[in-house]
Amino acid sequence: MGRIRILSDDVANKIAAGEVVERPASVVKELLENSLDAGATHLRVEAGGGGRHLIRITDDGCGMLRDDAMLAFERHATSKLSSARDLLSVSTLGFRGEALPSIASVSRLTLETRSRDETVGTKVEIAGGKMLRCEEAALAGGTQITVRDLFYNVPARKKFLRSDQTELAHIASLATHYSLANPDKTFTLISDDKELLNTTPVDRLRDRVYQVFGSQTLDELIDLGERRGGEHALYTLRGFISRPQAAKLNRNSIYLFANGRLIRDRLLLHAITSAGYNILPPGSFPFALLFLECDPADVDVNVHPAKTEVRFREQSRVHDFVRDALRQALIESKPVSAIPLPARAQPGAQLPYSEFSQRIENQGWQGPSELPSALPAAPAAEGPLPEFTLRGPRPPAPRFDFSDAPAIPVADEQQLRIPVPETHGAFPPELVPDLSQSLTALADLRPLGQIHESFIVAAGRDGLWIIDQHVAHERILFEKILKQRAAGRVEAQRLLTPLVLQLTLAQQADYDRIAGELEAIGFETEPFGQRTIAVKAAPAGVGAAEVEKVIFEILEIAERELRRASLDDLRRSIAASIACQAAIKVNMRLDQGKMEWLLKSLAATECPMSCPHGRPIALRYSLRDILRGFHRI
């Protein structure tokens, strides 16, 4: 690393300025980033009292020359930047020359450092920004910075610190995630003499994930491998995303790194949420650990004082690339729901700082907010003959009344009980079901009949399948509508008499904004007096009786989605809404031909395992479970 210089006013003024030190974890973040920039391979973090009393970071990086050790505490003193031009392609984590002076001004700080180019090291002591001492010291190569009594001279900020445990959790999360971003380095975290983290260098990110989270969590994650995208700029995405069944109820377990920098980026958060759209249940979010790499010139890191936000040169390309890569990974991994059903998405373990995480989530991110070990455990399949409880289906209003017989009412509370044998233990290898095979097995299913005129029971190569006829048809129609929409060839049908709808002022505004989308999807509408529209045609499958409901639903979606300004999401929501209305319902008798058609068409969809709202479509009672049930294995 070059010698430290003070940035000219011109460059300094171009740097996003603001408060750098908010809490102990922000100190740890800045110091760890400095150590990484210094090329350290061993990084040791010590914390006392959640970092309030003591934070010490020791590294074996390049160290500092004596003159630099003093200069480093001046504002805008950095070795990482010299001209405004350098700001356009920052390849180090630091660049502002702000961190050390900011930390030193609110603590008692000791810097001990030795560059390998000098025989003797330097020790500098500062309190509240005032240099107390600077002397020579016999030191090994590298740097150690000790920060004591954080905010001792700023009681107002000290007041806002949370419990030691909460502050420690933030530090732990940070150290853990920087260790994940740097698998080839050793990270140690010690709190009040207890070792919380110790990672040895490994070759692959996967191995580091294993070291940090353990094998059970690794099993719940999809390894993205390396995915590339972009046109002018090249983006590479690596990392992990949780399998759909391990989704979480908030965004706290999403960790994003852009060129090795931990960031909280709205655009990428939106891309991640959109990826799960129509695959994960609504309101659930994946655990994600994503590393996005690109040329430093294609991303502006100088947009946020705490360096936690970035701006990509091709914002929407990056968004779509990440969304599509993740969506593809989720679709590829979507398993058949086994019986018993996996538990619904659970919030991470209620850690003592979750209330705080919520608060900072609402306010925008200030630092990682949850210990990453909180992935929900896989549902246990232990104990003798557990009972599978299926809630009675929630019947949407019946639409296609194929049968003349009255529909069998299914109360919400009504439950069907099917005993299920335990599923653990050894299993002959030739019978171990392969997930990808079981997906292709869908195409070979032989329908045997219906339960409750709602669920198709089918025999397959690998076991007994139960398919929810409504959501299966919904998935088929959803993908068909999206394809037709993309090709500009939607099927529409004229209504015998135009339907006149009265809109509220807000609905009128939403209608004006999305009239083009409505038309493109098959609704022929036109204004008909004040705040009134006439609907003359609707997408095929949506009967006259449902048109009103679908239009109002779409206007509601438009209100929600347009605020987030994603046309792709709006289209998918509209397609899901139409598919839901047009799909066959539960409590409807299907003949053999219809059942066969439904299963074949389902097998041909891209994501046959979950409906556009994220509910499972098929349950499988595997051959293994059947054999176990009959005590044959």
Which residues form the interface with ligand ATP (CB under 6 A)?
A: 1, 4, 30, 34-35, 38, 59, 61-64, 72, 77-80, 94-100, 143
Tokens of 316: 């929407």
Cα pseudo-dihedral 27, 32, 38, 44, rounded to 10: 120
CB of 263 to ligand ATP, least distance (A): 14
Rounded distance between C-alpha atoms, residue 525 and residue 537, angstroms? 7
Q: Is 99 in the site for Mg ion (CB under 5 A)?
A: yes
Q: Which stretch binds Mg ion (CB under 5 A): 33-41, 52-60, 440-448, 559-567?
A: 33-41
Q: Which does 482 bind (CB under 5 to 8 A by kind): Mg ion, ligand ATP, none?
A: none
3-class secondary-structure state, position 337: strand
Between residues 188 and 346, which has the closer beta carbon with respect to ligand ATP? 188
Between residues 143 and 179, which has the closer beta carbon with respect to ligand ATP? 143
Residue number of the CB closest to ligand ATP reads: 94
Q: Which does 35 bind (CB under 5 to 8 A by kind): Mg ion, ligand ATP, none?
A: ligand ATP
> Which has the closest alpha carbon to 463: 330, 614, 337?
337
Between residues 35 and 525, which has the closer beta carbon with respect to Mg ion? 35
Count CB-CB contacts under 10 A for residue 626: 15
Pairing of the two strands 455-460 and 446-451: antiparallel
Q: Which does 59 bind (CB under 5 to 8 A by kind): Mg ion, ligand ATP, none?
A: ligand ATP
Rounded distance between C-alpha atoms, residue 75 and residue 337, angstroms? 57
Rounded distance between C-alpha atoms, residue 285 and residue 273, angstroms? 6
Q: Which does 97 bind (CB under 5 to 8 A by kind): Mg ion, ligand ATP, none?
A: ligand ATP
Between residues 107 and 273, which has the closer beta carbon with respect to ligand ATP? 107
> Which has the closest alpha carbon to 322: 274, 286, 271, 279?
271
CB of 112 to ligand ATP, least distance (A): 10
Q: Which does 29 bind (CB under 5 to 8 A by kind): ligand ATP, Mg ion, none?
A: none
Backbone angles phi, psi at 411, to 5 degrees: -70, 150
Rounded distance between C-alpha atoms, residue 199 and residue 441, angstroms? 42
Among 94, 276, 393, 616, binds Mg ion (CB under 5 A): 94
Q: Is 61 in the site for Mg ion (CB under 5 A)?
A: no
Q: Which stretch binds Mg ion (CB under 5 A): 96-104, 112-120, 344-352, 517-525?
A: 96-104
Q: For residue 537, give Cα distances in angstroms to 484, 498, 526, 557, 580.
A: 16, 8, 10, 20, 18
Q: Which stretch binds Mg ion (CB under 5 A): 29-37, 195-203, 247-255, 269-277?
A: 29-37
Q: Which does 466 bind (CB under 5 to 8 A by kind): Mg ion, ligand ATP, none?
A: none
The DSSP output letter for 610 is B
Q: Are 622 and 437 in contact (CB under 8 A)?
A: no
CB of 104 to Mg ion, least distance (A): 12
Between residues 16 and 381, which has the closer beta carbon with respect to ligand ATP? 16
Q: Which does 366 bind (CB under 5 to 8 A by kind): ligand ATP, Mg ion, none?
A: none
- What is the distance, to the nearest Å, from the Cα of residue 595 to the centroid of all Cα atoms in its chain? 36
- Count of CA atoms in the C-beta half-sphere (13 A) of 615: 15
Rounded distance between C-alpha atoms, residue 177 and residue 255, angstroms? 8
Q: Which stretch binds Mg ion (CB under 5 A): 94-102, 117-125, 305-313, 458-466?
A: 94-102
Between residues 40 and 575, which has the closer beta carbon with respect to ligand ATP? 40
Amino acid at 174: L
Q: Which does 4 bind (CB under 5 to 8 A by kind): ligand ATP, Mg ion, none?
A: ligand ATP
Rounded distance between C-alpha atoms, residue 405 and residue 588, angstroms? 9
Number of H helices, E strands in the chain: 18, 27
Q: Which stretch binds Mg ion (CB under 5 A): 31-39, 321-329, 431-439, 618-626?
A: 31-39
Q: How many residues bind Mg ion, per CB under 5 A?
A: 3
Cis check: omega of the bond before 340, within 30 degrees of 0 = yes
CB of 33 to Mg ion, least distance (A): 5
The radius of gyration of the chain's CA atoms, rounded to the nearest angstrom, is 29
Among 12, 15, 34, 478, binds Mg ion (CB under 5 A): 34
Instruction: Give contact residues for Mg ion (rule: CB under 5 A).
Output: 34, 94, 99
